[in-house]
Each structure stands twice: as structure tokens, then as C-alpha cells.
């Protein structure tokens, strides 16, 4: 039986040339080997002309270790709950993805590119490509082999973007006893949207949190820590083409 060290994607990163680096620390006797692998970009958001139209792209996998590793890819569909929890399933039949390869080896300190084409019968659609890195010589203290999983998420999107009047702030309240702001937003339209940045401010202080996706006809709840002494008063959501502002309600401590 193998022990698997999995690193799951938090669907809150801004798309672009960002990297995901997996680091596994094993305490074996007096040595502490560190294994680091990278996938970039984390997210591809592809805009196509319509259903069935193919998008193309490439994924770069980097092996920063000193040993040759084997990599196996698997494409899976997923659903994100209103609190950001992920559930996976086999790739939906309406999503069609082709890869230049589904398994390969990366020599030490080298990189490898995988090219893909993806289309979907309905837009928007999305799926994740998990890369499982194996072949580590080291084992856990229990003697198990190590595998590291890195995700790359692909979106196939229509030209129509989320509109400002389709994004509704349902709740934004400060819970003083918990020192956090609870935000719940709803996407009332059929388009995929992404909040790039969330700002909560008072007269003197600011708390900024990374963005998150919001899927068609769904709600999303996020928690924003607030450590300042005064109460926050305003929330601002920044998207690619518009901003949304709302006052912050305060609950009784």
C-alpha cells in the first residue's frame, strides 16, 4: 500500500503565470530531504467562440529534485460547494480533452511541456488535470512510497462575461467575537465569474484577501480575518471589468 501526499488546489488564485510548488518534508534520521515540484500556470481560462469550439494551451511541469521522476496525468470534473469545498468525479461526457501525452518522465532539474486541446458541449465548463509525481527513492518513516499530486485547472468559457447586475451580495457582516467578516455572494446569471480581490476597510485599517471563482447560478461564502481594533465599514469586490461595494453590518459581540 502506498502513502500519497496530496496537495489540493484552493480555487482562489488569480489566473496567469502563477506556480504551485509542492514541498514534502520527511524527517529521516538526521537528514531532512526536501522534494519540490512545480506546475505552471495554475489556471487556464480559455475563451472560445461557442460550444464545441476547441481551446488549446500548454502546461509546464518542473522537477526541482535531483532524481528522475515519473508523472501520470488524470483529468477529472469537479464541483465547488458554497463554502469552497471540492468534490471530484470522472470527467463529464460533455467535456472533450486531448493531451500530447498522459505519462512521462522528467530528469533531475528539468522541465516538461504537455500540450492540450479542450472543448465542451456546453459553456462554461471546467475540469482539473492532476499530475501524480512518483519515483522518489526516499520513503516515509513507515516505509511507504511517496506520491505528490499537483493540479492544473482548465476553464472553457464563452465570450459573455459575468455582468455587474448578476453578482449580488447576500450577506456581509462582521463578527466581532470571531474577528472575521462573513461574505456571501450569489451569481444569478449563466456566466462564470472570478473575484480577483476582496477588500474590507475601516477609516484607518484594511484587510485584503485573494480572489475566488463564482460559478453560474451559485452562491459562494468566504471568511475574511479582521484583526484591527475598530469595526470594518466597507467591502469592495474587484473583478476584471467592474467593482462592487457594500457596507458591512456588525453583529453583537
pLDDT truncated to tens, each residue of the chain (253 aa)? 233 343 333 333 344 444 444 444 333 322 334 457 999 999 999 999 999 999 999 999 999 999 999 999 999 999 999 999 999 999 999 999 999 999 999 999 999 999 999 999 999 999 999 999 999 888 888 888 889 999 999 999 999 999 999 999 999 999 999 999 999 999 999 999 999 999 999 999 999 999 999 999 999 999 999 999 899 999 999 999 999 999 999 875 5
| Whether residues 47 and 151 fall in one domain | yes
C-alpha distances (whole Å) from 97 to each of 153, 156, 241 are 12, 11, 30
Domain, as residue range, for 180: 164-250
C-alpha distances (whole Å) from 117 to each of 22, 69, 154, 158, 220 are 26, 25, 10, 16, 30
What values do phi and psi take at 164, rounded to 5?
-60, -40
For residue 109, the tally of other CB atoms under 10 A from its CB is 11
Extract the C-alpha cell encoding 253. 459581540
Domain boundary among the residues 157, 187, 214 is at 157
| Whether residues 54 and 142 fall in one domain | yes
First to last CA, the chain: 50
CATH number at residue 240: 2.60.40.1930
Reported pTM:
0.84
| Whether residues 123 and 217 fall in one domain | no
Domain boundary among the residues 122, 157, 192 is at 157
Work out how many domains the chain is built from and give that number: 2
| Whether residues 214 and 90 fall in one domain | no
Amino acid at each position: 500500500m502506498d502513502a500519497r501526499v496530496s496537495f489540493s488546489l484552493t480555487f482562489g488564485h488569480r489566473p496567469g503565470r502563477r506556480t504551485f510548488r509542492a514541498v514534502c518534508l520527511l524527517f529521516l534520521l538526521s537528514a531532512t530531504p526536501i522534494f519540490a515540484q512545480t506546475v505552471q500556470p495554475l489556471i487556464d481560462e480559455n475563451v472560445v467562440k461557442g460550444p464545441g469550439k476547441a481551446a488549446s494551451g500548454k502546461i509546464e511541469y518542473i522537477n526541482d529534485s535531483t532524481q528522475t521522476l515519473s508523472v501520470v496525468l488524470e483529468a477529472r470534473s469537479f464541483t465547488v460547494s458554497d463554502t469552497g469545498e471540492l468534490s471530484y468525479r470522472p470527467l463529464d461526457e460533455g467535456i472533450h480533452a486531448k493531451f500530447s501525452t498522459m505519462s512521462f518522465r522528467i530528469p533531475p532539474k528539468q522541465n516538461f511541456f504537455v500540450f492540450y486541446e479542450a472543448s465542451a458541449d456546453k459553456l462554461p465548463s471546467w475540469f482539473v488535470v492532476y499530475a501524480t509525481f512518483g519515483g522518489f527513492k526516499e520513503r516515509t518513516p513507515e516505509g511507504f512510497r511517496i506520491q505528490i499530486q499537483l493540479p492544473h485547472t482548465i476553464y472553457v468559457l464563452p465570450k459573455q462575461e459575468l455582468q455587474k447586475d448578476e453578482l449580488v451580495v447576500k450577506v456581509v457582516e462582521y463578527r466581532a467575537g470571531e474577528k472575521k467578516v462573513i461574505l456571501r455572494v450569489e451569481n444569478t446569471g449563466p456566466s462564470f465569474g472570478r473575484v480577483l480581490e476582496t477588500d474590507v476597510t475601516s477609516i484607518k485599517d484594511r484587510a485584503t484577501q485573494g480572489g475566488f471563482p463564482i460559478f453560474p447560478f451559485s452562491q459562494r461564502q468566504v471568511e475574511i480575518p479582521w484583526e484591527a481594533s475598530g469595526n470594518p465599514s466597507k467591502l469592495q469586490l474587484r473583478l476584471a471589468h467592474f467593482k462592487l461595494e457594500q457596507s458591512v453590518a456588525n453583529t453583537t459581540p
